[in-house]
């Protein structure tokens, strides 16, 4: 049976009498009407529970959205108190934070996020104006951020000028200009030069290969530690392969260590038949030449020949270079995991697997220029799992611009943040 909801009424509606408005009466409190059912009993319809809002986490999964609470002065004061307890724990960043300085916290967060987004041309003039907005040492966090920005940009003249202004404004010693030094591997042998490749390396980090280039030129032994190397782009992979092949050709004892995780990762990222990333292929073959077997080398060489239709390098049955035996030392070994360069769109999946094997986790940020907001959020996810597993975590030596971003995303609740001494 079909019911018509739009049936036309054939009967004409009677005209209604025009009603005149009555004088307004005094208002009386209205009693809400109680709806009744057909049998006359009160109807007890409850409003339907609203569906929970969904939000996307950084990993891309859906979950119930956290309730949004209005930001009050008390909340901001608690954030600042947490900053004092966590961020200044090493006494390196000994700041007397005014608990009523809500605007200072907002300014610091704004600068940290702008820098994370790569807006340096906006950050510098903003910082240069903000440092004078807070008298004395009240805005010392902003001063430190500006000092680090000038240090990272290599502007020594502006750094020295700011130091003089800092002494007058804050009446305390300014930070000192830090000369960049190559990172040494944790197990570097006495008398043997060493360098450590850490994090995700791109063409912007080409300077990390300078020690290797110098060693080949001077024909001196070198120890290259790849334990913290997460990955590299084609350009730096090709340069590294070229230098390692040159060292082997000229008999320079260059030893590449801790690459067990790197070879299978490269192998999986370079499928046969896709004529891409030829320089990464050359690095894979060179690492297999140095640390693999002839069988694994020849398998990869055949895949290379099929993919690029050209002859691959040949296996050379020369013994791997060795460094002189080092005397035993009771000195403690630095087991920190080093990151470097500009960290962008990083999920830290490989780093998580490495750190999960340690009880005490130290991540060194001394060579990190910047970490973008997405990567900082992914680092929170990574360290949350490790923290839940009972690990003790320390984030060591971030510059102040990176350190303040860590506070913004809440990393200070998961780890101790130790900034470098001035």
- Tens-place pLDDT, residues 343-357: 888 888 878 888 888
- The per-residue pLDDT for 78 is 57
Task: Kindly tell me if the per-residue pLDDT of 375 is higher than 70.
Answer: yes
SS3 345: coil
Same domain, 97 and 151: yes
Q: Please identify which residue in the block is written with the tokens 């940290």.
A: 112
User: Considering the domain boundaries, does residue 22 fall inside one?
Assistant: no
- The per-residue pLDDT for 186 is 46
Highest mean pLDDT among 26-35, 156-165, 177-186, 347-356: 156-165
Q: How far apart are CA 244 and CA 385, in angstroms?
A: 37
User: Considering the domain boundaries, does residue 154 fall inside one?
Assistant: yes
Q: Are 193 and 221 in contact (CB under 8 A)?
A: yes
Number of domains in the chain: 3
User: Considering the domain boundaries, does residue 68 fall inside one?
Assistant: no
Strand order in the sheet with 193-201: 193-201, 222-232, 254-257
User: Considering the domain boundaries, does residue 396 fall inside one?
Assistant: yes
Buried-exposed string 54-85: b where 16+ CB fall within 10 A, e elsewhere: eeeebeeeeeeeeeeeeeeeeebbebbeebee
Can you give the residue range of the structural domain that contains 155?
Answer: 73-170
- The per-residue pLDDT for 336 is 82
- The per-residue pLDDT for 188 is 45
Same domain, 105 and 162: yes
First to last CA, the chain: 86
As a dihedral over the C-alpha atoms of residue 345, residue 205, residue 341, residue 358, rounded to 10 degrees, the angle is 90
User: Considering the domain boundaries, does residue 39 fall inside one?
Assistant: no
- The per-residue pLDDT for 193 is 67
- The per-residue pLDDT for 180 is 57
- The per-residue pLDDT for 415 is 95
Q: Are 185 and 326 in contact (CB under 8 A)?
A: no
Confidence band, pLDDT 50/70/90 cuts, at residue 308: very high
What Rg do the C-alpha atoms of the chain give, in angstroms?
Answer: 32
Sign (positive or negative) of CA dihedral 210, 216, 218, 223: positive
CATH of the domain at 225: 3.30.750
Q: How far apart are CA 60 and CA 401, in angstroms?
A: 27
Residue 196 vs residue 193, higher pLDDT? 196
DSSP secondary structure string for all residues of 193-233: EEEEEEEEE-GGGGGGGHHHHHHHHHT--EEEEEEEEEEE-
- The per-residue pLDDT for 187 is 47
Write the DSSP symbol of residue 137.
G
Residue 192 C-alpha from the chain's centroid:
32
- The per-residue pLDDT for 304 is 94
Phi then psi for 366, rounded to 5 degrees? -60, -30
Q: Are 86 and 416 in contact (CB under 8 A)?
A: yes
Q: Are 336 and 396 in contact (CB under 8 A)?
A: yes
Residue 54 vs residue 198, higher pLDDT? 198
Q: How far apart are CA 135 and CA 169, in angstroms?
A: 7
Same domain, 142 and 203: no
Sign (positive or negative) of CA dihedral 291, 297, 299, 302: positive
89: Cβ–Cβ under 8 A, 6 or more apart, which residues?
Answer: 416, 417, 418
- The per-residue pLDDT for 277 is 93
- Weakest mean pLDDT among 157-171, 342-356, 407-421: 342-356
CB atoms within 10 A of CB 161: 12
Q: How far apart are CA 390 and CA 360, in angstroms?
A: 9
What digits encode the pLDDT tens for the residues 334-346? 678 888 788 888 8
Task: Kindly tell me if the per-residue pLDDT of 41 is higher than 70.
Answer: no
User: Considering the domain boundaries, does residue 55 fall inside one?
Assistant: no
Per the DSSP assignment, residues forming a β-bridge with 342 are 370
Task: Kindly tell me if the per-residue pLDDT of 113 is higher than 90.
Answer: yes
* Domain-terminating residue out of 154, 170, 186: 170
What digits encode the pLDDT tens for the residues 229-268? 888 899 999 999 999 999 988 888 888 888 888 888 898 8
Confidence band, pLDDT 50/70/90 cuts, at residue 7: very low
Q: How far apart are CA 80 and CA 74, in angstroms?
A: 10
CATH of the domain at 393: 3.30.750.24
Q: What percent of the chain is modeled with pLDDT above 70?
A: 68
266: Cβ–Cβ under 8 A, 6 or more apart, which residues?
Answer: 280, 283, 284, 287
Confidence band, pLDDT 50/70/90 cuts, at residue 318: low
Q: Is the pTM of this model over 0.95?
A: no
User: Considering the domain boundaries, does residue 4 fall inside one?
Assistant: no
Residue 228 vs residue 74, higher pLDDT? 228
Confidence band, pLDDT 50/70/90 cuts, at residue 13: very low
Q: Are 308 and 272 in contact (CB under 8 A)?
A: no
User: Considering the domain boundaries, does residue 248 fall inside one?
Assistant: yes
* Domain-terminating residue out of 170, 185, 206: 170
Q: Are 399 and 368 in contact (CB under 8 A)?
A: yes
Q: How far apart are CA 172 and CA 297, in angstroms?
A: 60
Mean pLDDT of the chain: 76
């Amino acid at each position: 049976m079909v019911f018509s909801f739009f049936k036309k009424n054939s009967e004409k509606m009677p005209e209604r009498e025009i009603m005149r408005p009555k004088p307004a009466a005094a208002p009386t409190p209205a009693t809400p009407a109680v709806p009744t059912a057909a049998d006359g009993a009160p109807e007890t319809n409850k409003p339907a529970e609203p569906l929970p809002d969904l939000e996307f986490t950084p990993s891309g999964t859906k979950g119930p959205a956290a309730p949004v609470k209005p930001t009050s002065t008390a909340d901001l004061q608690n954030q600042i108190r947490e900053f004092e307890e966590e961020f200044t724990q090493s006494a390196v960043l000994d700041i007397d934070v005014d608990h009523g300085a809500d605007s200072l916290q907002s300014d610091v967060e704004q600068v940290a996020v702008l820098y994370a987004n790569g807006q340096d041309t906006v950050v510098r003039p903003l910082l240069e104006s903000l440092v004078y907005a807070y008298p004395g040492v009240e805005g010392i966090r902003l001063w430190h951020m500006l000092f680090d920005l000038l240090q990272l940009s290599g502007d020594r003249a502006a750094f020295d000028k700011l130091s003089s202004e800092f002494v007058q404004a804050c009446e305390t010693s300014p930070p000192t200009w830090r000369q960049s030094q190559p990172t040494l591997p944790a197990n570097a042998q006495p008398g043997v030069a060493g360098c450590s490749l850490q994090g995700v390396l791109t063409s912007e980090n080409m300077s990390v290969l300078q020690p290797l280039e110098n060693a080949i030129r001077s024909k001196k032994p070198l120890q290259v530690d790849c334990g913290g190397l997460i990955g590299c782009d084609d350009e730096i992979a090709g340069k590294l392969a070229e230098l390692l092949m040159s060292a082997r050709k000229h008999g320079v004892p260059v030893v590449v260590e801790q690459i067990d995780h790197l070879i299978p990762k490269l192998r999986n990222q370079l499928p046969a038949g896709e004529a891409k990333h030829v320089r990464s292929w050359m690095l894979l073959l060179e690492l297999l030449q140095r640390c693999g077997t002839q069988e694994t080398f020849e398998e990869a060489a055949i895949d290379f020949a099929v993919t690029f239709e050209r002859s691959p390098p040949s296996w050379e049955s020369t013994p791997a270079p060795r460094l002189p035996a080092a005397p035993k030392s009771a000195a403690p070994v630095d087991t920190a995991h080093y990151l470097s360069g500009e960290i962008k769109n990083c999920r830290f999946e490989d780093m998580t697997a490495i750190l999960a094997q340690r009880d005490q986790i130290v991540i060194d940020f001394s060579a990190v220029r910047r970490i973008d907001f997405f990567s900082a959020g992914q680092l929170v996810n990574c360290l949350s799992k490790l923290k839940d597993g009972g690990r003790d975590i320390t984030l060591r030596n971030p510059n102040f611009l990176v350190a303040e971003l860590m506070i913004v995303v809440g990393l200070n609740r998961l780890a101790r943040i130790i900034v470098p001494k001035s």
